[in-house]
Structure 1
Amino acid sequence: MIARLHLYLVDAAAAAVIAVLVAYAMTEHRDKPWWLVLPSAALVALPVAVRRPWPVVAFAITTAATVAVVIGQVLPVPALGAPAAAVGFTLYTLAVDRNRTWSLAGLVVAVVAVAGVGGGEPPNVLATVAALGAVWVIGHTTRLRRSFLTRESEQRAEQALAGERLRIARELHDVVAHNLSLIAVQAGNAAHVRSPEHAYEALEVISETSRAALTEMRGLLGVLRSGADLVPSPGLAGLAQLADRASPAGVRVSLDVRGDAAVPEGIGLSAYRIVQEALTNVVKHAAPASCTAVVEVTGESVRIEVTDDGPGVKELGMGHGLIGMRERVAVYGGTFSAGPGEGGGFRVVAELPVR
């Protein structure tokens, strides 16, 4: 707002200078009365002060007034420089604000008007074409540059939106995959057990897991709503609860978090999701099994290692879980590996540099 006000003040100052020069030329060479000089000078110069909000109107009035004062012999031809400057100011704004067709039409009108009232001699016409043509080129170039910057800003905004949507999709995948895996295991247990007590326990785990999943999904989808109150992203502090939820699904998790758990939010969220996805894979493919999750935090990195003693796999699949973990690590320039462990089972190792 302040910068725009400064521009208007500059335009007003330029208009005042041009008005003084035009009025001086009218009284110096033609000795015209003030009641004619003041309105004539105002019509020529004052549109410069409002050329930004009304470029077409300012250009039309200034150009018409310049032709009128010269043809009416209110302003001598040798003093045409000041009105021509006013025409140049408004032509520049027209070239910046309007498309090429409009601005080229304005350039033709300006050249014909100024060169015509200037006598039409070839040297004067060439000088007028060169001066006003240069003004038009500068204005049109400014328009192209601003258009390019606007498109670039829009593209950056679209890329940021696409990245945010991809992040939300990845988070939703991790939340849904992990919690539905636990629910599926517990539902299977409830369907096969003979004891009502065990069935009730399985149903209780399903209920708690469902509520936790819904809470996390509401928090994620909240970023799509303006003004939504967002819950903090899960981090290293939530790993203990994550391990507890895997236990009823037949995976005994031994969690060991070493070092200071205070890490940047993005690193903490990525570490949480990597452990979550690794436990989800254990629940899906290895339960019942024992699992060890070690998270070591240092000043340089966060190292995650999740191993289990399940049957392992012969071939490393290309599921979305492993791809998601690898992408999370790649965002921070870390390292990732996943495959069968040396003594059987499966092993996931990820290291996230702390920047």
Structure 2
Amino acid sequence: MEWAGRRLDAKSVADAAVAVAVALIIRYAIVDPPGPSSHWPAWSAWPVAAVVSFPVALRRRRPRAMLALACATAAAVTMAGAVAAGAIWLTFTPAVLVLYLVATTASIAWSSAGLAVCLLAEVSAVLVFYAQVFPGLDPAAAPSEIPPAWPIEIGMVTVLLTVAWAVGTVVRWRRETTARLVRHLAEAAVTDERRRIARELHDVIGHSMSLIAVKATVANHVADARPQEVRAALAVIEQTSRSTLAEIHRVLDLLRSDGDPRQARLPVPGMADLPELAVHARSAGVEVDLAVRGEAALPAAVAMSVYRIVQQALTNVVTHVGPTRCSVTVDAGGREAVIEVVDDGPRHGRPPRPGSADRGGHGLIGMRERVKMYGGTFDAGPRPEGGFRVSARLPYAPDGTPA
């Protein structure tokens, strides 16, 4: 607010300076006109110039009222003969400046009405001046190269007013177009952020709930025969629930405290958390062989995408296949991250779980979208020898942006 007030004050000072400059020009034109001099006394040029130029100084505070005042005073002093022939168009210069501001701030209908009123006022005033005042003026001491004539005066004022209105209208249209574009970009950014958060929540909850469902099923089946396995399953469920709540809190903190440095945030998952994913999958009966190759330190955004892709791939294995063997390979070198998750399919001739044939749904869509952000390649599908394979390649620039 303080900065906006300073800018407004600076513009008001600039308008006041312009008003003074215009008043000096009008006063000089009245005293030393190109045509016959006014029959008013010479000292009257000062108050006439000040009154005509006054609306320019206050045009930002009351633009519509100042436009009406500028047109009225210019027309009045012209019909009263206080101006000189050949320089009447200067008297309407303040109306031109105010009309430009009105066109940049008011609606097209209002500014058009203002233009029409100003044109009517200047045409009427010039015609009255040349019909009633001009014949009674003394001839100029030195004839001008361009003799005073009402068509020239009307043409000059009409052109100035029309150009000011047209330029102001274009400026207003560009401002509105820019404002609409900014709003559209802001809305698009909000939509993208919502999609990203929804994808994060899907990955977190889907992975954890799959493990919890598997362990709860095991505990339910062996509750009477092997109570020690029930306790182990409950321990896994407890640990998974706690980590899931922490992840959900981290994602929701992005909504509550975006841009607030006072709000503490949990670290973003990355490459260092891949072994924990393997541990969770092993607790659900999946034998995971994890291999991370390459010594390059991935940018945080790329590392999180790698983590989420591996997380969703392992979630699909736990959900759709059950106990099996799975290999996870991550190669982080050469300005790209290459991920491959391969499972052997159901063991001992067990029928696949419902939905395991194609493993479609939001999981594969989310992985494909993450890869698409980096302009990489993604492939997922069943293997001829059995099982399922997920492969992704994420090229990236040194700063973590897509390559």
Q: Distance in 2 between matches of 1:265 and 1:102?
A: 54
Instruction: Quote how far apart the aligned CAs of 1:25 are.
Output: 3.5
Q: Deviations along 1:304-347, whole A, 9 cap, x unmatched? A: 01112223798424211111111111111111111223543221
The 1:265/1:77 distance shift into structure 2, 3 A limit, reads: farther
Mean Cα deviation higher: 267-276 or 335-344: 335-344
Partner of residue 190 from structure 1, selected from 208, 212, 219: 219
Q: Which residue of 2 aligns with 1:24?
A: 28
Q: Return the TM-score normalized by structure 2.
A: 0.80
- What SS class does the counterpart of residue 245 from structure 1 fall into? helix
Decide whether the 8 Å contact of 1:257 with 1:296 is kept in 2.
Answer: yes
Decide whether the 8 Å contact of 2:296 with 2:333 is kept in 1.
Answer: no
Q: Distance in 2 between matches of 1:277 and 1:351?
A: 15
Are residue 107 (structure 1) and residue 115 (structure 2) matched? yes
Mean Cα deviation higher: 70-79 or 161-170: 70-79
Are residue 219 (structure 1) and residue 250 (structure 2) matched? yes
Decide whether the 8 Å contact of 1:301 with 1:353 is kept in 2.
Answer: yes
Are residue 85 (structure 1) and residue 86 (structure 2) matched? no
Q: Which residue of 1 aligns with 2:146?
A: none
The 1:165/1:60 distance shift into structure 2, 3 A limit, reads: same
1:33-48 correspondence to structure 2 within 5 Å: 37-48=45-56
Q: Distance in 1 between matches of 2:8 and 2:298?
A: 43
Instruction: Quote how far apart the aligned CAs of 1:33 are.
Output: 6.6
Q: Which residue of 1 aligns with 2:147?
A: none
Q: Distance in 1 between matches of 2:45 and 2:280?
A: 89
Percentage of pairs with the same residue: 42
Decide whether the 8 Å contact of 1:40 with 1:65 is kept in 2.
Answer: no
Instruction: Quote how far apart the aligned CAs of 1:162 are.
Output: 0.9
Are residue 344 (structure 1) and residue 386 (structure 2) matched? yes
Give the letter for the 1:68 counterpart: A
1:53-64 correspondence to structure 2 within 5 Å: 53-64=61-72
Instruction: Quote how far apart the aligned CAs of 1:210 are.
Output: 1.1
Decide whether the 8 Å contact of 1:175 with 1:216 is kept in 2.
Answer: yes
Q: Which residue of 1 aligns with 2:136?
A: none
Where in structure 1 are there 5+ consecutive unaligned residues? Answer: none
Give the letter for the 1:140 counterpart: T
Give the letter for the 2:309 counterpart: I
Where in structure 2 are there 5+ consecutive unaligned residues? Answer: 129-149, 347-351, 398-403
Q: Which residue of 2 aligns with 1:125?
A: 154
Q: Return the TM-score normalized by structure 1.
A: 0.90
Are residue 332 (structure 1) and residue 374 (structure 2) matched? yes
Larger radius of gyration: 2
Superposition RMSD in Å = 2.4
Decide whether the 8 Å contact of 1:77 with 1:117 is kept in 2.
Answer: no
- What SS class does the counterpart of residue 297 from structure 2 fall into? coil
Instruction: Quote how far apart the aligned CAs of 1:123 are.
Output: 4.8
Q: Distance in 2 between matches of 1:122 and 1:25?
A: 19
Give the letter for the 2:252 counterpart: L
What is the count of residue pairs matched by the alignment? Answer: 354
Instruction: Quote how far apart the aligned CAs of 1:161 are.
Output: 1.0
Are residue 293 (structure 1) and residue 322 (structure 2) matched? no
1:261-340 correspondence to structure 2 within 5 Å: 262-311=297-346, 315-340=357-382
